[in-house]
Amino acid sequence: MTAKKGEWLEFTVPSEWQGQTIESLLKMTWGAPKKWLHQLRMEKGVKLNGQMVSWQTPLHPNDRLQLWLYKPEQTDIQPNYRELEILWEDEHLLVINKEPGVDVHPTDPQQTDTLANAVTLYLQTEGIFTKARHIHRLDRDTSGAILFAKHALAGAILDRMLEQRQIKRTYVALVHGILKKKSGTIEAPIGRDRHHPTRRRVSQTGMAAVTHYRVLDTYHKEQTSLVELTLDTGRTHQIRVHMSYIGHPLVGDVLYGGSLGQWSRQALHALKLTFPHPFTREPITCIAPCRDGWFPGALWQ
């Protein structure tokens, strides 16, 4: 059980922490980064039952462990209002259903219309003046679930979980053509396209990239297929590059060989986000409704 108290977050110690010290909880159980731990120690950012104590102090059930997690941080991101569709939230993290046509974060300090600007303002209305930390990214024209951390410790733990593939992301896309195989794996390295500033391409000198796909439905009249995709890696434009590479570019993705048709963006949506909670290990699953007409809503309802 946790409770935000100003810039501090108070944990009521559960029975499973019995016998652990403050230091072992921070280092071993949560895997907090050394640099962050050093800063926390220097700033006297830990209390037990309202008192400064040694980090070697053992924890007992119902103790109140207080951590200075919401220390105000400087940021170049200006707070700006945008309506947010929140899928899941607690004192540590925030999952948002991103709409298409919105950048996740600014490319320069003057840009104020991104998701990070809106999250910054939202956190400030909660009395939180930390940086808005996105754990992963979505392209500007890709919609769906995206995860933010509300403080540096949650951000560090979630970053590590992403590296260890504990955060699972499931996408759906509408692609050109009828796929011959109902499921498969695309394993092809991705690198920059030296002839184009933003495009990526399959390249033997690129970084390893693995995409798994499964056909959900086929539309023979339109000559398109609805596919589910999961990633073992997180390369820039990975799904778009890989599907184009096998001859099935995304509908609307003109950068990689798709045609617009009636859609003004690539038909790609981050449908599901599944991960263990960074502190409680509770399994969390978020389903992000797709608001575009290309995606049949019956699949997520």
The verdict on residue 11 lying in a domain is yes
CATH code for the domain of 225:
3.30.2350.10
* Tally of domains within the chain: 2
pLDDT at 259: 87
Last residue in a domain, options 28, 45, 67: 67
The verdict on residue 248 lying in a domain is yes
The verdict on residue 60 lying in a domain is yes
Query: How many angstroms separate the Cα of 47 from the Cα of each of 16, 52, 99, 126, 237?
Result: 19, 5, 41, 23, 44
CATH code for the domain of 53:
3.10.290.10
Last residue in a domain, options 67, 98, 113: 67
The verdict on residue 215 lying in a domain is yes
pLDDT digits (tens, 9 = 90+) for 223-244: 999 999 999 998 999 999 999 9
* Straight-line distance from the first to the last Cα atom of the chain, in angstroms, rounded to the nearest whole number: 31
**pTM of structure:** 0.92
The verdict on residue 197 lying in a domain is yes
**Catalytic option among 76, 113, 139, 292:** 139
Question: Is 139 labeled as catalytic in the residue annotation?
Answer: yes
The verdict on residue 108 lying in a domain is no
Query: Residue 63: which domain range?
Result: 2-67
The verdict on residue 298 lying in a domain is no
pLDDT digits (tens, 9 = 90+) for 32-76: 999 999 999 999 999 999 999 999 999 999 999 999 999 999 999
Last residue in a domain, options 45, 67, 89: 67
The verdict on residue 292 lying in a domain is no
Q: CA 206 to CA 98: how far, in whole Å?
A: 29
